[in-house]
Amino acid sequence: MESEAAGARRAAVLGKPIAHSLSPVLHRAAYTELGLTGWSYDSFEVDEGALPGFLEALGPEWAGLSLTMPLKRAVIPLLDEISDTAASVDAVNTLVLTEDGRRLGDNTDIPGMVAALREHGIEQVDSAAILGAGATASSALAALARICTGEVVAYVRSEARAAEMRQWGERLDVEVRTADWADAARALHAPLVIATTPAGTTDALAAAVPERPATLFDVLYEPWPTELAARWSMSGGAVVGGLDLLVHQAVLQVERMTGRAPAPLEAMRRAGEQALAAR
């Protein structure tokens, strides 16, 4: 057991807006379960302009930071080292601060997605569909690079977004075909559908869920379930939710920041579920 005498360590989540973040709930639950009584985890509203000054002011007690929008790309020039995973999508959601003052950037969203799918029995698929083309969609493509053996079809709203997704496919060595959002109902017949769009965007697709759907990974966790996820579940399909992703990526962050593994997945999930229910 690590005691107060071992020295206080700090970590936090940064972003703007930040009030909605569940990261403090998840990380604090992990510290409690691991007996890290000297550890604290906070949240700070920080934008791109304030990030360099925030990092410069950190003392030796700081172990790491979780980064959310709009900082995942802005932090990269401020790092000493970046993992291949983070570099593959130009996005860092985890900053580990070493004892000698180095800043190491990583991305736990991508392995977190793979772990969440694996927990639901999805080890490999021969094709997949992605709804949307934002930052989360590029992480989804990077995850699919690890588990999808065939084509990924991305349903998008504009040719500019389509071109972006094809570029990500080339970069990540994933076979990507793009299709118009107007045809998004076709996506629902894929062996794996990853919905990366904002709340409400896929509601109209709920009526188009097939009789025997396969697996839906909806990255939202609030509100939950989405209309699409609820209909999918009612039709007997497997559903992986945003909380699954959030917990799995946080597990990896806790392990990297504290050096303690395995992080307590179930305790963190329970804390997240309780926090969402309380909202």
Annotated catalytic sites, by residue? 72
Q: Strand locations in the chain, DSSP E?
A: 9-15, 39-45, 62-67, 81-82, 94-97, 103-106, 128-131, 152-156, 176-180, 192-195, 215-218, 238-240
3-class secondary structure, 40? strand
Which of 143, 97, 150 shows the shortest CA–CA distance to 125?
150
d(CA 226, CA 207): 13
Cα–Cα–Cα angle for 9, 13, 14, nearest 5°? Answer: 125
- Output the DSSP codes for 77-96: GG-SEE-HHHHHHT---EEE
Residue 52, beta-bridge partner list: none
Phi, psi values for residue 14, rounded to 5°: -120, 145
d(CA 192, CA 116): 13
Residue 103, beta-bridge partner list: 97
CA distances from 154 to 98, 132, 144, 180, 254 (A): 39, 7, 12, 8, 32
3-class secondary structure, 216? strand
d(CA 219, CA 265): 18
